[in-house]
Structure 1
Amino acid sequence: MSIAHFRRTTAEALLADGTTVVIRPLGPEDREAVLDLHANRMSDESRRLRFFGVSRNAPRLAADRLCGEQGERLLSLGAWAGDELIGEADCEIPEDRPQTGELALVVADRWQRRGAATLLLEHLIHAARGRGVRVFEADTLAGNRGVHKVFAGLGLPVHRRLDRGEIRVRVPLDESDEHYRAAVDERGRRADVASLGALLRPGSVAVVGVSRRAGSVGRTVLAKIRQGGFPGPAMAVNPRAGSIDGEPVYPSVGALPAVPDLAVLAVPAPAVAGVAEECGRAGVRALVVLASGLGAEDSRRLVHACREHSMRLVGPNSLGIAQTDPAVRLDAEFGGAFPLPGTAGVAVQSGGVGIALLKRLAWLGIGVSSFVSLGDKYDVSGNDLLQWWEGDGRTDLALLHLESFGGPRAFARTARRVTRRLPVLTVDAGRSAAGRRGAASHTAAAATPTVVREALFRQAGITATRSIGELVDTAALLHAQPLPDPRGAVAVVSNAGGIGILAADALADAGLILPELSGELEELLPEGASARNPVDTTAAVGPAELARLLEKVELSRAVDALLVCLVPTALATDPAHDPVRALLDGPARRRIPVAAVLPDQEVPVRHLTCADGNRLPVYSDTVAAARALAHARDRARWLAEPVSEDAEAPGCDLRTARSLVAGFLTANPAGGWLDPVGTADLLESHGLPLTTSVWARDERTAVIAARAMRRLGHEGAVALKAYWPGQVHKSAAGAVRTGLRTESEVRSAYREFEESFGAELAGAVVQPMAAPGVELLAGVVQDRVFGPLVLLGMGGTATEVLDDRVARLAPLTERDLTTMVADLRGAPLLSGYPGAPAVDLPAVRSVLARLSRLAADVPELVEADLNPVIARPDGAVCVDARVRLEPRPSYDPYLRRLRRPAAAEEG
């Protein structure tokens, strides 16, 4: 990070108590604030601990040092709450020790023990690392317990040395340290949850914009709050209404008899920003904004008011929120009936989707712990709600509808942790078959929005469905039944052969397996029945016989789930012969998950309560049941995967890579494609296996290079590849000649290039012909929102035709390296098949790990396309590669900061 870029950085983040602060570099304009901090808002004892004594000149000297002419060797950050500087952290980099930062830190007395010091340190660590600092050192007094507690809780190793009553503290700065990342995440989670308390557990509420008109939004929301049993004050604000329904209406937020924790704004869009500012000045801690259509300036003012006054914001364009906790019972939405109390957390971006989802959950009898209509998501997001549900003590199922991701990297980390504790289901909205093709490389063409989202969901363990119906179908199973074994073997039992076959087909289409069942089942079946899987009991089966059969299948251990399909027959008109009784009279909660299909029922899915009091999901369609079982199997598989560390890529040369990138972008400020030499140098800095390549600027050099390759032991033919600036696909442009065995063939090929490409031709690459193997595509695309995406696929000239690719968001874990290879449809080609040996899979995984590391080390790398990578039993080698760079600042996804929506950015 350059010093110029550092001085432009500003971030908003939460303290431990939920207060919003601004973290930014200190400048000359901050001198009076720094002087005031040191001179007036620190006790004598605090100044003694900071300056190792009480000196009247110390505050002035500190202000002069921090806010004077700052050179390249001083990094200083201040934390601001509104207009108040509450703390500062700085480090000076000694000229003779460029990797060391001499640290100083101070927080105003009344802001101590609220997490300000740790937050400042986190941001200073990030800035210092970007300047090449690898260790902080500080001199402290032995009695300064506060600062020692800060260091101890940071999550990094701390080394102390006592010398004459002073302690020399040394802290190595490793942002990739898992303990540090976990500590940062936990601090962020606690601060986030603290800030949401006023929103989801308010003690008092005000509705601003309550109209006298019956049926208006504001009046409807107020009535629902009061009728829903909210135990605290529910106040109304409208400057032109004295009372409604016998209750007082106040002319402004400032006129309320008490400051509400939460304000619901039911005012027109042009009035939202002004009301938000009034709420902030009054001390309100959370807002729900129902209006839509805010302009850019109003959006900016709204977010600014919320950040300046530490208010969390839902919306705008929100349907509202609901909290069914008996101690709260808040129904502040205008969508319909108050959700049933329960344990499912629901967050949606679309109000219409929210209404439909709540209605379907009510059909099932699945209650809701809290419901939030996120709307345009200027602040509170799905990530915030996941962290709330993780620790609210009530939620055991999370349902999300997200049309966009503002902070997907933070969301992925949170979801990966939360999904270990409870199922997280989402509707994968916004899928598009027409992906991005702008950069034209194979890797970029493969990185469609759908591919990126699927990678996010896969790595985070999120169950991604394709419709509200499929979401509810899956929730019905996961909420009522145990998970199956990861194997995914299912038995189908039906009383009619036709529906059993349909169920078997649906299960197979969903990727589940139907194993052969034991012949012992035949003794439990009537004449003419089939004990194969699917089991056809025929219509003659009675409830008792069916119950014994189901028990036998469950105890057989041959299957991991059971799907029972029953169609109405004339025999079932007698209740004594109704096979559904076998389901109702038996237990719903078995060793394995059980689902039923009753095609004659009028609703898509419902729950039946069985003899043990538990519920059985019943579907009207075999496809819906099969998809739900497949999602349950996938969740079981994900939970069975061990938690994995980041993939290792030893021997990477970060210094060389950074130098190369800096040099290229200095010469090409707008970025572009690296030439063959630059591409090879960058990939080699991270140990990626490249075939021998020689750059030839003319025909003579190409001939000499081909001759030298033969002398060095490359006895076979060579390949000649033309190059010109901006080139992407060589083969499609006719820029590749292979199998050249003689010097005359090399000369002829080069002359053909000159004739075809003319003055555009910059030269050619000479390579030995690679030994045959399995051709793969490996690459990286930097997504501006999601970050780097690593892809692996079947490669070569048929890449687009085969369309066999898998993707994961970087950084990859060791587990990702294995699953990416295994998830390819062409994986059997890599594992070996009759007549062909297995390739060197560790070498393939090493390519992926090094690409992941390269993407993390070089954020300016927007595309890397290695195609083909030839995998053989003795290793893997890349024979062609393209790399595109663009100027982009480094981004630390672990740095705590509040997301600022694009609609609220400065114009």
Structure 2
Amino acid sequence: MDGRVSASGTRGYARGVEAHYPAHWEADVVLADGGTAHVRPIRPADADRLRAFYSRLSEETIYFRFFGPRPRLSDREVAWFTNVDYVDRVALITTIGTEMVAVIRYDRTGPGEAEVAFLVEDAHQGRGVASVLLEHLAATAREHGIERFVADVLPANMKMMGVLRQAGYTAESRFADGVVRMTLDLTPTDVSAEVTTSREHRAEARSIARLLAPGSVAVIGASREPGGIGQTVLRNLLAADFTGPVYPVHREVRAVAGVRAYPSVTAIDDEVDLAVVAVPAGSVADVVKECAEKGVHGLVVVSSGFGETGAEGRARQDELAGIARAYGLRMVGPNCLGIANTDPAVKLNATLAATVPGRGRVGFFSQSGALGTALLQRVAQRGMGISSFVSAGNRADVSGNDLLQYWEEDTSTEVILLYLESLGNPRKFARLARRIARAKPIVVVKSGGTPTGHSARELGLPDTAISSLFEQAGLIRVDDLIQLFDVGQLLAFQPLPAGPRVGLVTNSDALGLLAADACASAGLSPGTPANLGPRAGAAEFGAALAEQLASDSVDSAVVIYMPPLPGDSDDVAAELLRVSEATGKPVLATFEGHNGMHPSLSVGATPGRGSIPSYPAPEEAVRALAHVVRYASWRSHPVLAPPPLDDIDTDGARDLVRQTLAAAAAEPASAGSASGGETSRALGSFAEPGPPVEVDAAELLSRYGLSVWPAEVVGSPEEAVEAAGRFGWPVVLKAAGPEAAGRAGTVRLGLATPDGVRHAYAELTEQLGAGTELAVQRMAPQPAVPTVVGVVEDPAFGPVVSFGLGEVTARLLLDQGFRLAPLTMEDAGALVRSVRAAPLLFGEYGYPPVAVDALEDLLVRVGRMASDLPEMARLELDQVLVGEAGVIILGARATLRTPPGPRLDGGPRRLA
């Protein structure tokens, strides 16, 4: 870039609009090394900040940006760079603390094209700052119709060329007049999406790794008071034999627990990687700034007095999170139990819990701090072990999503257990889980929710929908903490089953029958229990188990050993381990009523792979196995992308949506109303959401290859007869309005004569009241199964597709399934089969089999439309008749709403 400036506005394309600061462009981001920063549009008040930033740049960096030496910026240049219109001239800056460390800008040079350039302070180059800024600037450019970025780059400026080429967009370059002109097509591609996702993953994983594997820890607020929070954390760190130095920080005492104390974290001579903060809530913000000054990488705030106390505490918590992120720190908490890492190279117990389980292969996340101590004790009692543990408390910054990114990379973590009270970014959570669960099972307990975050009560979806979406993502959702650990210990030590067939070996006929009944109830296929009798010993159990595991009709085995009198349990356990070794089939037991990893059933002193988990009762063992069987079935299916749909017109659908919203916005049409261009710009800039706007659903669906069975609204019996004549007999007369149509008995079918139509019209008018709109429609082919398809733009999950049968009973029982859009064909098939009434579609209960493949194709198309159009607030297809030859959409209604901003998991990388 040549850096030429002009004081006369943008180069020929300024629109003279008033520049309104676009606050929705602001974002906290995680950089490539795990640190954080703040991205926001530049302001005129940033003039001094820009001068200070420029003064810290090296001569080489300045030369690459301006193609020549420029020791300082003139006042005119500073004014030009900091005064932008946020439409044709846009600049975004990155700040850490109060300092500006990078800037990126574009200047429109023609229709759909803008010139781009960026500067990153030398000390922060290589941290991924430019890549994050380019993502955000590209998103702002697309908001204003800019399709291409052009940059003139010196051939030696390999860093800038690398940033542009590695963004994943289609890039072209040509050399002329001593510079390389690069052109970047800003149309999102699969590659650019993958680049963004990959960078997000690496950055967030590294940010958590810096928390869980610190080289040193400071405990701020560690007093001499017995039982004090700070002292408790300090003693637990020391008792765990943390491998790095520990620094107590207290402003008044010289030593705590026999360890030298420091008056402040900045007084510590050596580096500090992690700070555990245990000071009163009102002092935490100042401590965070001290930690930033010291160069601390991460914080664990165990202090309470924040969001859990009400609105004032919530405001204090938001301020704290903002300060931490602005100064480059990730934060666990506040109001949390702490974090732990059992890696022998770390040995970190920065928690308030004295009992931390031994080394294991389970990563454990608990949102609740108060419950965390009990949970850790239960894990320890079962002998499971953990790889690492995080209690996020109020989850002001670090959340379960961050831990998922870390555990995906952590080779010592094979199973992930989550206790969640709320979901901060549910759509991102589902996306991450769907990817990670392909390699590492994720078991989750989701409670009713808290006042913060997105709880089941706050989301626009019922809890059954959340279960459906978890199922789509491959999550194992369990009902309580007991099941969490029951399932976790099976996954941690045994292989996945190949199917639902269960072999049963027992020394009690009654317990064997209970296990068989439990299998049948859980959807498993039990074999006849092999009852060995109460006197059976090691040889009998070994032979019976070997026979079961050798059978091609057995995928897993449950062994019940409950001797009436003390016997040779150690020998039996040894034989079970010997037989189960290397079979590739999971074995679990009810072994003398033991709960967890029985020492005699463990491989090695610390339970390892191949250890057989034990459950107090056979029903609990079977329940855990059923969860794992369903997960294994999900995982066995290949990963598929949404199918290509060549016969759709996405651009036409978007044009229809824009025109409908623009027309609705201009409807008041009074003096001083916004012009068409201003309306368009407001919509592109995510204006405040207005009331729902009806759109022609039939026309919108036609853009996605779907047609609505024609209907005509009529105002009199004679109009109804005339419409019937045009459609052809027989016809249907029904209520046209959505509210009236939802009432039972508002449809008259098979009307074959004019008198029949007149009579039906009179009946419905009397039933629904004069003035109720009625519609005539040609009778659809029979037989067919009525179904209902819907879409809702959920504020947390984004677009969600629902499906259910249209029968009154199914509606009353809320027999619906849900899936996140867009849908693969596999998603669509699972959605159809997820409802309890699905057998009616497959030829059962006297119904003929219908064209389920056509129904699945419709669901995929509706899901694609929902994904493409964030403005579509709701779509209702009621009813969709599924017949032997295809599907017919009898009624459709769609409403639009201007979105308040990008979807939670859409757009460039940002922290929630």
Distance between the aligned counterparts of 1:419 and 1:670, measured in 2?
A: 36
Superposed CA deviations along residues 18-68 of structure 1, whole A, max 9, x for unmatched, are 23222222343335545665x544444434433445578987776555444
Find out whether 1:626 has 2:622 as its counterpart. yes
Report if aligned partners of 2:367, 2:391 keep a CA contact under 8 Å in 1.
yes
1:822 is aligned with what amino acid? R
Cα separation, partners in 2 of 1:615 and 1:323, compared to 1, 3 Å: same
1:536 is aligned with what amino acid? N
Shift of 1:222: 0.9
Report if aligned partners of 2:116, 2:151 keep a CA contact under 8 Å in 1.
yes
Q: Which residue of 1 aligns with 2:121?
A: 108
Q: Which residue of 2 aligns with 1:13?
A: 29
Q: Which residue of 1 aligns with 2:6?
A: none
Q: Which residue of 1 aligns with 2:654?
A: 654
Give unmatched runs, 5+ long, in structure 1: 516-532, 901-907
Find out whether 1:214 has 2:226 as its counterpart. yes
- Which of 710, 720, 724 matches 1:692? 710
Cα separation, partners in 2 of 1:438 and 1:395, compared to 1, 3 Å: closer
Q: Matched residue pairs, number?
A: 856
Q: Which residue of 1 aligns with 2:701?
A: 683
Report if aligned partners of 1:656, 1:685 keep a CA contact under 8 Å in 2.
no
- Which of 820, 824, 830 matches 2:841? 830
Q: Which residue of 1 aligns with 2:588?
A: 595
Secondary structure of the 2:173 match is: strand
Q: Which residue of 1 aligns with 2:576?
A: 583
Cα separation, partners in 2 of 1:159 and 1:577, compared to 1, 3 Å: closer
Q: Which residue of 2 aligns with 1:250?
A: 262
Superposed CA deviations along residues 461-488 of structure 1, whole A, max 9, x for unmatched, are 2222111111111122111111110x21
Shift of 1:327: 2.0
Q: Which residue of 2 aligns with 1:374?
A: 392
Report if aligned partners of 2:421, 2:449 keep a CA contact under 8 Å in 1.
no
Distance between the aligned counterparts of 2:699 and 2:424, measured in 1?
A: 35
Find out whether 1:849 has 2:860 as its counterpart. yes
Q: Which residue of 2 aligns with 1:816?
A: 827
Superposed CA deviations along residues 125-154 of structure 1, whole A, max 9, x for unmatched, are 222233333443333333331122112221
Distance between the aligned counterparts of 1:824 and 1:347, measured in 2?
A: 32
1:657 is aligned with what amino acid? V
Report if aligned partners of 2:236, 2:353 keep a CA contact under 8 Å in 1.
no
Q: Which residue of 1 aligns with 2:198?
A: 186
Q: Which residue of 1 aligns with 2:11?
A: none
Report if aligned partners of 1:6, 1:127 keep a CA contact under 8 Å in 2.
no
Cα separation, partners in 2 of 1:362 and 1:591, compared to 1, 3 Å: same
Q: Which moved more, 1:807-816 or 1:646-655?
A: 646-655
Distance between the aligned counterparts of 1:288 and 1:610, measured in 2?
A: 35
2:509 is aligned with what amino acid? G
Distance between the aligned counterparts of 2:124 and 2:256, measured in 1?
A: 42
Cα separation, partners in 2 of 1:818 and 1:236, compared to 1, 3 Å: same
Shift of 1:702: 4.8
Q: Which residue of 1 aligns with 2:404?
A: 386
Report if aligned partners of 2:363, 2:415 keep a CA contact under 8 Å in 1.
yes
> Percent sequence identity over matched residues?
36
Secondary structure of the 1:151 match is: helix
Cα separation, partners in 2 of 1:670 and 1:358, compared to 1, 3 Å: closer
Secondary structure of the 1:849 match is: helix
Distance between the aligned counterparts of 2:570 and 2:374, measured in 1?
A: 37
- Which of 237, 248, 251 matches 2:249? 237
Distance between the aligned counterparts of 1:458 and 1:568, measured in 2?
A: 39
Shift of 1:782: 2.0
Distance between the aligned counterparts of 2:569 and 2:233, measured in 1?
A: 50
Distance between the aligned counterparts of 1:31 and 1:751, measured in 2?
A: 75
Secondary structure of the 1:656 match is: helix
Distance between the aligned counterparts of 2:169 and 2:791, measured in 1?
A: 31
Shift of 1:426: 1.5
Cα separation, partners in 2 of 1:63 and 1:244, compared to 1, 3 Å: closer
Secondary structure of the 1:778 match is: strand
2:781 is aligned with what amino acid? A
Q: Which residue of 1 aligns with 2:319?
A: 301
Cα separation, partners in 2 of 1:505 and 1:90, compared to 1, 3 Å: same
Alignment of 1:647-796 (within 5 A): 647-650=643-646, 651-652=648-649, 653-664=653-664, 667=667, 671-672=690-691, 675=694, 678-696=696-714, 702-710=720-728, 715-723=729-737, 727-728=738-739, 730-732=741-743, 736-743=747-754, 746=757, 761=772, 763-772=773-782, 773-796=784-807
Distance between the aligned counterparts of 1:534 and 1:824, measured in 2?
A: 32
Cα separation, partners in 2 of 1:281 and 1:592, compared to 1, 3 Å: same
Report if aligned partners of 1:140, 1:167 keep a CA contact under 8 Å in 2.
yes
Find out whether 1:412 has 2:412 as its counterpart. no
Alignment of 1:316-715 (within 5 A): 316-430=334-448, 447-452=461-466, 454-485=467-498, 487-515=499-527, 533-539=528-534, 541-569=536-564, 573=566, 575=568, 582-583=575-576, 586-598=579-591, 600-601=592-593, 603=595, 606=598, 608-609=600-601, 614-650=610-646, 651-652=648-649, 653-664=653-664, 667=667, 671-672=690-691, 675=694, 678-696=696-714, 702-710=720-728, 715=729
Secondary structure of the 1:427 match is: strand
Q: Which moved more, 1:844-853 or 1:579-588?
A: 579-588
Distance between the aligned counterparts of 2:705 and 2:43, measured in 1?
A: 42
Cα separation, partners in 2 of 1:683 and 1:36, compared to 1, 3 Å: farther
Report if aligned partners of 1:776, 1:871 keep a CA contact under 8 Å in 2.
yes
Secondary structure of the 1:788 match is: strand
Find out whether 1:23 has 2:43 as its counterpart. no
Cα separation, partners in 2 of 1:720 and 1:829, compared to 1, 3 Å: closer
Distance between the aligned counterparts of 2:574 and 2:247, measured in 1?
A: 52
Cα separation, partners in 2 of 1:735 and 1:408, compared to 1, 3 Å: same
1:721 is aligned with what amino acid? A
Secondary structure of the 2:418 match is: strand
1:596 is aligned with what amino acid? A
Report if aligned partners of 2:871, 2:897 keep a CA contact under 8 Å in 1.
yes
Cα separation, partners in 2 of 1:728 and 1:273, compared to 1, 3 Å: farther
Distance between the aligned counterparts of 1:92 and 1:731, measured in 2?
A: 53
Find out whether 1:86 has 2:101 as its counterpart. yes
Report if aligned partners of 1:343, 1:394 keep a CA contact under 8 Å in 2.
yes
Distance between the aligned counterparts of 2:208 and 2:273, measured in 1?
A: 11
Find out whether 1:839 has 2:850 as its counterpart. yes
Superposed CA deviations along residues 404-456 of structure 1, whole A, max 9, x for unmatched, are 11122222222222222222222132289xx99999xxxx7xx303422x233
Distance between the aligned counterparts of 2:275 and 2:600, measured in 1?
A: 40
Give unmatched runs, 5+ long, in structure 2: 1-17, 307-312, 669-687
Distance between the aligned counterparts of 2:265 and 2:771, measured in 1?
A: 69
Distance between the aligned counterparts of 2:535 and 2:594, measured in 1?
A: 25
TM-score by length of 1: 0.87
Shift of 1:363: 2.5
Shift of 1:502: 0.6
Secondary structure of the 2:911 match is: coil
Distance between the aligned counterparts of 1:331 and 1:428, measured in 2?
A: 26
Find out whether 1:50 has 2:65 as its counterpart. yes
Report if aligned partners of 1:648, 1:814 keep a CA contact under 8 Å in 2.
no
Distance between the aligned counterparts of 2:502 and 2:664, measured in 1?
A: 57
Shift of 1:851: 2.1
Shift of 1:891: 1.9
- Which of 775, 795, 800 matches 2:811? 800
Distance between the aligned counterparts of 1:437 and 1:311, measured in 2?
A: 32
Superposed CA deviations along residues 279-330 of structure 1, whole A, max 9, x for unmatched, are 2333322111112232134213311220121111111111111122222212
Cα separation, partners in 2 of 1:58 and 1:705, compared to 1, 3 Å: farther
Secondary structure of the 1:848 match is: helix
Report if aligned partners of 2:810, 2:837 keep a CA contact under 8 Å in 1.
no
